[in-house]
Amino acid sequence: MSDGIFLVRDDGTLVPMRASPFENEDVFQRLLATHPSLLAGDAVSPDDPRRWLLVAREQAVPGEEGGSGRWSLDHLFVDQDGVPTLVEVKRASDTRGRREVVAQMLDYAANGVVYWPVETMRQQFERTCAADGRVPDEVLSIALGDSSVDPSAFWERVDAKLRAGRIRMVFVADVIHPELRRIVEFLNEQMSPAEVIALELRHYTGQGLRTLVPRVIGRTAAAEGRKGVASGQRASAGPRLTIEEWMSRFDAERTAEEGALARSVRDWWAERGASFEVDRYQSPGLVVRIACGSGVIKPAAIKMDGRASTNLYALTSQPPFDQEAARREVVVALRDITGMTASEKAFNGEPAIALSALADPVARDRLFAVWGTLLSRIRAGV
């Protein structure tokens, strides 16, 4: 079979385009940086096409806390949901396009989720925009399709995704060899909530023209099924559930005891002036909303998988929890509750406790006491 395509001009003449290698890797990388849509966001997520924001080319990846950078990632993007997307580019002629590039990517991911401060990422994004003569907030608004977007809230989402390991690793090459394809498909089926895919970007030239044809590899049915159930983080393409619809779905998917405990959590927050909304994930959560000053904060949520979370990532701009020490105090208090587990980075995430653990009245009262103190400190600002 001929490895070529034909373009038809307006006058009906044909332009034969033949597959050809990129001149060099820099040309390849610059095309992706200039035209992020080449990452085929509609193929990466057909139900909710991805839109990309370039954070930086040659993004430094530290290997220790406060490190300046041990490695260099080809591209760092974030999508409209704040999911960090690591992109490594290799031409087919590069013999490292298989095992070595996979090892590199895993190094970048393992260290980036731990050592990338979100403020550094935001500053890199702003420098990238400035270099192109663009205004960062305008670029963000266009990418998100929302002129009223709060940049600080968006970067808080990026930080939360990063700390939770909710990242995307993308291998880009002009030809994806079968060996790399098998590795990517295997990793994508096994890893959650992280996503691993390959993008084959075929390159055709002819008569001074250049044509690029992207194809996404790695999104197998097994991987999609596993991630849809296990991570519950894919955005839903359907309408947002009402509170009543959410409770009905929760009752159908969880036990009667968990349903009663979810209502006790909801009622506790309602007694303190909270309202609620359902987020738009495939496995949606019931999110607590508290009016604070001229805005709204979202300090907690009930998850469809039967957990109650404390959303510390949503409080990082809210005194006193804009200070890391204050958020750490909350994590320490939560760890003392029966069944509570939290990682070292939980102060920037959403530590959660199983609702079933709250069947113990003592544990339930202790969680409510932690939340009560948190709410009082927010309202007092100290």
pLDDT of residue 76: 96
Mean pLDDT of the chain: 85
pLDDT of residue 188: 85
Q: Which two tokens stand for residue 208?
A: 């001074």
Instruction: Name the residue among 8, 1, 21 with its Cα closest to residue 205.
Output: 21
Instruction: Name the residue among 147, 91, 82 with its Cα closest to residue 121.
Output: 82
pLDDT exceeds 60 at position 253: yes
Quote the pTM value: 0.59
Residues 14-37, mean pLDDT to the nearest whole number: 88
Each residue's pLDDT tens digit, 267-307: 999 999 999 999 876 678 999 999 887 688 999 999 988 88
- Identify which has the larger pLDDT, 182 or 382: 182
End-to-end CA, the chain: 70
For 89-92, the CB contacts below 8 A with 24+ separation are: 89/25, 89/28, 89/29, 89/32, 89/172, 89/173, 90/25, 90/171, 90/172, 90/173, 91/21, 91/22, 91/25, 91/28, 91/173, 91/174, 92/21, 92/173, 92/174, 92/175, 92/177
Instruction: Name the residue among 372, 361, 363, 232 with its Cα closest to residue 300.
Output: 372
- Identify which has the larger pLDDT, 22 or 106: 106
